[in-house]
């Protein structure tokens, strides 16, 4: 279930077959999973890993919404970041959920690390986090840093930018 979700299969993480929920001894039907209803508590070994993977996937999707936003593409692209040139209103509006995503990822990483160590050895846990979690964490941190540096600008540079490149 977790690997299919991470590999990009179109299986709905909120409505796998009820037979799966029964086999995995989940407290609530999978059809009621999601931000509104919460996650199922499953009794099988690694059930908490499934719960954390679902949360991870939700954060990943929320971050993808930011990256696909026209304001991100127009005001937070590499050109804008390298030249310290943007529009504060657009930067603030497109990154309004970034702080929450960032804080939740920090908490989720600790929880997921503990859950993985209950089932897997230290090396498998490290490999999993480095393969799946750390790339998203790095992207979120890079955007967080770029956002803060752009918003810290007191004076916006004028063209031509090549002579005024900033050091980010």
Quick: pLDDT tens for 16-65.
556 666 777 777 655 555 555 566 677 788 888 988 988 899 999 999 99
Determine what percent of the chain is predicted with pLDDT higher than 90: 49
Q: Using 50, 70 and 90 to split pLDDT, how confident is the model at 119?
A: very high
Residue 55 maps to a domain: yes
Residue 23 maps to a domain: no
Residue 25 maps to a domain: no
Q: What is the pTM of this model?
A: 0.78
Residue 17 maps to a domain: no
Give the pLDDT score at 167: 58
**63 sits in which H/E element:** helix 47-68
Residue 114 confidence (pLDDT) above 60: yes
Residue 137 confidence (pLDDT) above 90: yes
Residue 21 maps to a domain: no
How wide is the angle at C-alpha 91 spanned by C-alphas 76 and 141, nearest 5°? 65
Residue 102 maps to a domain: yes
HSE-CB at 160 with a 13 A cutoff on CA atoms is: 2
Residue 30 maps to a domain: no
For 92, the domain range is 47-164
Q: How many domains does the chain have?
A: 1
Residue 10 maps to a domain: no
Radius of gyration of the chain (CA): 20
């Amino acid at each position: 279930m977790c690997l299919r979700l991470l590999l990009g299969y179109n299986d709905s993480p909120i409505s796998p077959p009820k037979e799966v929920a029964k086999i995995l001894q989940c407290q609530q039907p999978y059809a009621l999973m999601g931000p509104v209803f919460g996650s199922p508590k499953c009794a099988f070994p690694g059930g908490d890993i499934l719960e954390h993977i679902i949360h991870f996937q939700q954060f990943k999707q929320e971050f993808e919404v930011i990256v696909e936003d026209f304001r991100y593409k127009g005001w937070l692209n590499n050109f804008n970041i390298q030249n310290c040139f943007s529009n504060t209103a657009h930067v603030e509006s497109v990154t309004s959920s970034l702080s929450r995503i960032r804080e939740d990822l920090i908490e989720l990483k600790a929880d997921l690390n503990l859950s993985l160590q209950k089932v897997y050895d230290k090396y498998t846990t490290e490999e999993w986090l480095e393969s799946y979690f750390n790339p998203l964490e790095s992207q979120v941190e890079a955007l967080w840093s770029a956002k803060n540096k752009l918003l810290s600008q007191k004076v916006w540079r004028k063209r031509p930018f090549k002579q005024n490149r900033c050091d980010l």
